[in-house]
């Protein structure tokens, strides 16, 4: 999926709401609300399906420098994929380093639920989940 260039912006609850986010966990809010984001260039994103249960460490190692996308690219992706039935995983740089972010469209609330969690934890991601990264 091609994501157009994004302007510099300071994130806020309203910024994420414009992308369709209706709920974010406390970690996501602490890490990603109020960030000053630089402008980004147009980029091609890949959506990769996990073939087996995978830990963040193994996903990050396999994708290398292609794993992370910017917060503004996350918002552009979410905005373009409203009402998707897929669960997506993103790796984003927040206030305190890189975080794994899960997003899914909750039909009952008409928007995205987003959860940030540490990439250092022992939790895995289920087979069939989709990881969004740089091509």
Letter string b/e over residues 83-97, b meaning 16 or more CB atoms within 10 A of that residue's CB: eeeeebbbbbebeee
How far, CA to CA in Å, does 57 sit from each of 24, 54, 61, 69, 123? 23, 8, 6, 16, 10
| Total-model pTM | 0.95
Report pLDDT digits (tens) over 3-54.
999 999 999 999 999 999 999 999 999 999 999 999 999 999 999 999 999 9
So what's the pLDDT on residue 121?
A: 84
Pair type for strands 130-134 and 43-49: antiparallel
Report pLDDT digits (tens) over 108-132.
999 999 999 999 988 899 999 999 9
Report pLDDT digits (tens) over 54-107.
999 999 999 999 999 999 999 999 999 999 999 999 999 999 999 999 999 999
Pair type for strands 54-55 and 87-94: unpaired
Residue 90 has which token pair? 């993103």
């Amino acid at each position: 999926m091609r994501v157009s260039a994004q302007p510099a912006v300071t994130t806020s609850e309203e910024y994420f709401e414009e992308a369709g986010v209706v709920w974010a966990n406390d970690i996501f809010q602490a890490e990603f609300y109020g960030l000053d984001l630089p402008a980004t260039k147009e980029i091609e994103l890949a959506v990769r399906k996990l073939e087996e249960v995978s830990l963040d460490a193994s996903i990050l190692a396999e994708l290398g420098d292609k794993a992370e996308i910017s917060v503004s690219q996350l918002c552009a992706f979410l905005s373009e994929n409203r009402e998707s039935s897929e669960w997506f995983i993103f790796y984003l740089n927040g206030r305190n380093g890189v975080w794994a972010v899960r997003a899914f469209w909750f039909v009952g609330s008409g928007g995205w639920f987003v959860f940030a969690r540490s990439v250092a934890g022992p939790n895995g991601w289920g087979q069939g989940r989709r990881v969004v990264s740089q091509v």
